[in-house]
Amino acid sequence: MSALDVDTLWLHCASLASVPSLGWLVAVLDNSQPRTAHEHDVVAQALNDTFIDAAQDHPVRYAAQLS
């Protein structure tokens, strides 16, 4: 989690829904900003997309056998 790029996460959030700003996302992540259920779902999906993208950059040796 320490390698999480907040800018990339925000871009994923913005692609999913209209989000106010990068500052809003940071406030949501540090739990100082209340959020709606929809905003929670957007951030959760963006986190998922971010981690999936990161995993694509580091495939396992046997990845070709999985497809």
Do 46 and 19 touch, CB atoms closer than 8 A? no
Tokens matching residue 11? 């871009």
pLDDT tens series, the chain, 67 aa: 455 778 888 888 888 887 778 888 888 888 888 888 888 888 888 888 888 877 666 666 666 666 5
d(CA 19, CA 26): 12
Is 29 in contact with 6 (CB distance < 8 Å)?
A: yes
Domain range list for the chain: 6-56
